Structure 1
């Protein structure tokens, strides 16, 4: 496929990540929240998101190392890798129907790409080196251009050396706004992420054999929007839409807004009939949109807490600021439905997808991994511990592109039976598709649309798609160490 180089574009101010001010705690660091247009008074507003009033939204994303303080002094600022001047950033806000033109500028000393997670986009824009595009080499530019077909809360990240690049902060937010959504008093973005840092602020080891072969290597510093226990300001007595993102490489979170009635209204950006926020574990790459009422008096607070741990772990504080908005009854309002193709379950073949450990762990010399026709040592791990349908990524001695896990006929519907044969959790992601979660043999499942689903140990879970988007699409666990050590493949729709 031809390599497309970007035309020179004017540089945008990339630290325009949008919204309600986030007060850094005494521990240091900053956070970012993004408001709905016109929702907050100027005194509460922060930097505006990247957006456009026209039909085209243009952004330049410069991937490079930038210093940013995560730990308080005397630790040094940490050498993050980001697309904007700080993490999180940028936050791109579009209206449904607008077209995105994003230019990746590679300021790294290794090749990279951008995968647009959760978006039903053309295969050539999916951002997987060697599979859907040539890698973007150091100093090069690559233009991605597409019109997102669905509203929702999406994000983007690299798809080679992901364990280190995402571990160091290389991710951004893409929000596609519904044209007829209910109005809220604030629309904020909260990215939950751990960092593998030592006391000096330096990064530790992102991948270990022990972590890769088990539940993953966990970070030691928990943050929201890059800040340790930040205070996020919200309008007093306002109705808040919070877009919660789990952008960690390993950790599962189950969030609560303590002190408020909170309702989930979207999963992975896809509308869900409002249901109480009382247990929706989010694996890496999963998102939920939550509605809650801010405290009725200025200065009062709510706590954002992760209860998916031995003891609840506080993550952030929401603090009411400004004059109280008019009192009204809090009623969660449903978001408008997305036009996702509905699979025909009556005639859909069932395709088994078994996620397991490899029969024999493999190890490859770095020289074998270099100069391959479909990948290289940056995109491949030297060891494999995991498999899908007994096939590790890659297979066959790393010498050829592995065959697809399955080839689907364009236009037909299919049911994937995801079988977790391991004692560990696996968030399973399919590129290019929004699937319908149907049922589980081990728990009650709320039918919903998603692009990533958390597969519990020993569980069999069914999801369905209508194969209407042709191309080769990655299919993998989003615990990045599992992905990088074999639990990845691709499906072909032809």
Structure 2
């Protein structure tokens, strides 16, 4: 995953070049320690999340304000709990359209998955809904709506859920970095969230890049310290190559799921994916850059200014995280299935063009929040219909709960697709193009012409399966499994 930009920039800037990322199977074969039994009773966390339009200064104090949709007065609220706790979250809808909350990456009961018409009825304006579920896994998760995602997430309706309890030894500090672009005009108003040219290709990109809602993020961190960095790509479209300059860094979790520490050069992060890093900062006066090497012009996600006395002495040997407690697929007995992500057929792609916009039925279809007006994409040559979720299409497959499956995910398009499976944490087994480590994830980036094999144990319920480039799921690259 080493990028030419990373090497050239590190050399030119005089910063310590990040070490090569080792991806050997031997590295990931080292067992992680098991978590000790929890001491003390579990807690129930009661929170209220009000989806509402609020004024935010994304351009800075001297710039125009923008009207965002948020879950509270704080942009990107961060909820924290411990493994084994219970979350009771009341969604209050103060928007002018219906909404819901999907808990991305969390193994929730199916009724709590937050997909309108599939697992629950929409939460209409002025109404509320209570999400109540246990937290079985540690990790870095997030939450967002699941209808009109380009518009609602595009307006800022997203939050973070951190489930603690995976650290075998406390780190000296922690940073949460939330990367998200915005489709904003110079006056602070929103541009269209989707375009046909973007939806039919790699997505419609934002005009303003931010981390934690800031266009330039600087943080002070302790010297010679082991810092945990939780990086979330919550953009609707963007793919990143994340690297660290000025400090040695290791990957310790992917999508919140622990793995043995892997030295980092750069890590490719698709939309909706997360990576946890631990880095050893230099001595006081040093500087650390968290960078995205993917765009033509390198983007600094954060600049860390190092100060104070040394926290650690000796070599950098990150403390391992505790192993995840996940269902383990039986690979020898797993049923094999293949899913090809491709373009929609011409007949499907032109469906909306045949509708009379003055016909009442056409207006219902075109006004549906959960899908777009056009269809460009398909899974196994089947596209999600234009009429949204109200009348569900047949499932992609009917899986048997408790049974192991091996899926081959094949990208037959010239564009990347981050593929997300609701309600499950799967094991990424192999790639036809990259030497990826074997790891657990809930979203996997499938590059053009790449084949990725994953394995998991099916759980009961209707579970969505889709690309997480939001324009792609809204224009056909979406389906579901009916597990019994």
Indicate whether the TM-score tops 0.5: yes
Instruction: Please give the residue correspondences for 1:81-100 in structure 2 after superposition, counting only pairs within 5 Å.
Output: 81-88=69-76, 90-100=77-87
Cα 1:94–1:309 change in 2 (3 A) is same
Aligned to 1:43: none
Change (3 A) 1:351 1:369: farther
CA distance in 2, matches of 1:475, 1:195: 25
- Conserved 8 A contact 1:368-1:398: no
Q: Which residue in the other structure is 1:390 paired with? A: 381
* Separation in structure 1 between the aligned mates of residue 330 and residue 272 of structure 2, nearest angstrom: 27
Match of 2:32 in 1: none
Say whether 1:437 aligns with 2:428. yes
Aligned to 2:316: 330
Residue from 193, 203, 208 that aligns with 2:195: 208
Match of 2:52 among 38, 49, 64: 64
Q: CA deviation at 1:395?
A: 6.9
Q: Flag the 1:334–1:377 CA change in 2: closer, same or farther, 3 A.
A: same
User: 1:413 and 1:477 mapped to 2: Cα distance?
Assistant: 22
Instruction: Name the SS of the counterpart of 2:369 in structure 1.
Output: coil
Q: CA separation in 2, counterparts of 1:180 and 1:425? A: 33
Map of 2:111 onto structure 1: 124
SS at 1:464 equivalent: strand
Instruction: Tell me the CA shift for residue 54 of structure 1.
Output: 6.1
Q: Which residue of 1 aligns with 2:481?
A: 491
Shift of 1:295: 2.9
The secondary structure found in structure 2 opposite 1:411 is coil
Residues 166 and 323, structure 2, Cα contact 8 Å, conserved in 1:
no
Q: Is the Cα–Cα contact under 8 Å of residues 239 and 269 in structure 2 kept in the other structure?
A: yes
Task: Give 1:398 deviation, angstroms.
Answer: 8.2
Q: CA deviation at 1:320?
A: 2.1
- For residues 313-355 of structure 1, give each alpha carbon's deviation from its aligned partner in whole angstroms, at most 9, with x where no partner exists: 2222111244442534321222111111111111212111010
Extract unaligned runs of 5+ from structure 1. 1-51
Aligned runs of 1:206-285 on 2, under 5 Å? Answer: 206-285=193-272
Distance in 2, Cα, partners of 1:138 & 1:163: 19
Q: 1:180 to 1:369 in 2, by over 3 A?
A: farther
Q: CA RMSD in A?
A: 2.0
Aligned to 2:460, which of 470, 477, 485?
A: 470
Q: Could you tell me the TM-score, scaled by structure 2's length?
A: 0.87
- Paired residues in the alignment total 438
Matching residue of 1:14: none
What is the SS of the residue equivalent to 2:473? helix
Gapped runs of 5+ residues in structure 2? Answer: 1-39
Aligned pairs for 1:116-155 within 5 A: 116-155=103-142
Match of 2:334 among 329, 342, 348: 348
Cross-structure match for 1:414: 405
Q: After superposition, what is the alpha-carbon deviation per residue over 1:384-435, rounded to whole angstroms, capped at 9, x for unaligned?
A: 0000011101279988310000111111111111110100000000000001
Q: Equivalents in 2 of 1:368, 1:188: separation in Å?
A: 50
Larger RCO of the pair (alpha carbons < 8 Å, separation 6+): 2
Q: Aligned equivalents of 2:180 and 2:55: distance in 1?
A: 17
Instruction: Using the TM superposition, name which of 273-282 and 135-144 deviates more.
Output: 273-282
The TM-score with structure 1 as length reference comes to 0.85
Deviation string 1:114-168 (CA, Å, 9 cap, x unpaired) is: 0000011100000000000000000101000111111000000000110011111
Q: State the distance in 2 between where 1:162 and 1:313 align.
A: 25
The yes-or-no answer on 1:172 pairing with 2:159 is: yes
Shift in CA distance, 376/287, structure 1 to aligned 2, threshold 3 Å: same
Question: Deviation string for 1:235-275 (max 9, x for gaps)?
Answer: 23221000000000000011112100010000000011111
Identify the range of structure 1 (225-234 vs 478-487) with the bigger mean alpha-carbon deviation.
225-234
| Greater Cα shift, 243-252 or 325-334 | 325-334
